[in-house]
Amino acid sequence: MAVPALAEPLNIVTSITPVQGIVADISAGLQMPELLVPPGVDPHDFTLRPSQIRALQTADIIVLMGNGLEPWWDGVADKIGADTDVIVLGRLPLIGRRLLPMRGAQNAFDPHIWLDPDILQGLGLVLADVLAERDPAGRARYLANRAQMRSALAAARAEIDAQLAPLAPVQLVMGHDSMQYFETAFGLQFAGALSDGFGQDAGAQSLGAIAAMRGPACLVIDVNEANAQGLALMGDAPVVRLDPLGANLLESDNFSASLLRNLAAELRGCAP
């Protein structure tokens, strides 16, 4: 059945900051998706307010990251009507073959897929098609935005490859193990983490291995982390602070490319 053109913009609700930014790359000029989990709030510990549940129930499209990042979704999924499209980015068939296992966990995928430029391109491909189907009148704009996103990501990747080349010998210790996709995409050397991808603290054996490292190293911590333990453990090693969620980039054009560039710019502080 053909979907009629919409008289009003699509009502799109997104879970976390990078999901909002990725969708906004595709919907730019037509609508700004609503964000549920405010910047700076841990999505693992987030609890929906009644007003947010109502926002989900009235949405045309809900976009989630999946793979454990939105544990609150299970409690509300059965309250969403059949007219609402629910897109779980981490479960899309196009993305599945690129998923990486969560380090140190069994039967779990690393959910931080938005840090891989190739995955980002795939997400743009799918989202443009979904939005165009629900809003045929905006199809040309969605497809143009997708082309712009693809071009921006390709340019960012080439720049970042050159910028991060000096980091090849540096052992990166992560405060929170959220950068695996970025490390893999740009050939960075992971040496350990003080907490895993779900926020569980590292054990004594892992901490001992980090303390025993030799050679150039760098501590990479989240902008919202104090991480006194990591600072003490790493001694005089350089420390850089990142925001893998891109909370301050939501007003940027080309959020996805801007996020990758921003992370690379901060990581240059790890260069020996």
Q: What is the mean pLDDT of residues 4-31?
A: 89
Angle at 14 between CA 11 and CA 16, to 5 degrees: 160
Q: What is the mean pLDDT of residues 137-165?
A: 97
Residue 34: strand, helix, or coil: strand
CA 10 from chain centre, in angstroms, equals 23
Model-level pTM? 0.92
Is beta strand 217-222 parallel, antiparallel or unpaired with respect to 171-174?
A: parallel
36: pLDDT confidence band, cut at 50, 70 and 90? very high
Query: Is 170 in contact with 144 (CB distance < 8 Å)?
Result: no
Please state, in angstroms and rounded to a whole number, the distance separating the CA atoms of residues 154 and 242: 22
Which segment, 32-36, 93-97, 250-254, is predicted with the most confidence on average? 32-36
Please state, in angstroms and rounded to a whole number, the distance separating the CA atoms of residues 98 and 51: 35
The per-residue pLDDT of the chain, averaged, comes to 91
Q: What is the mean pLDDT of residues 237-256?
A: 92
Range with lowest mean pLDDT among 95-104, 119-128, 153-162: 95-104
pLDDT at position 244 over 50: yes
Label residue 29 exposed, middle or buried (CB < 10 Å: 0-12, 13-18, 19+): exposed
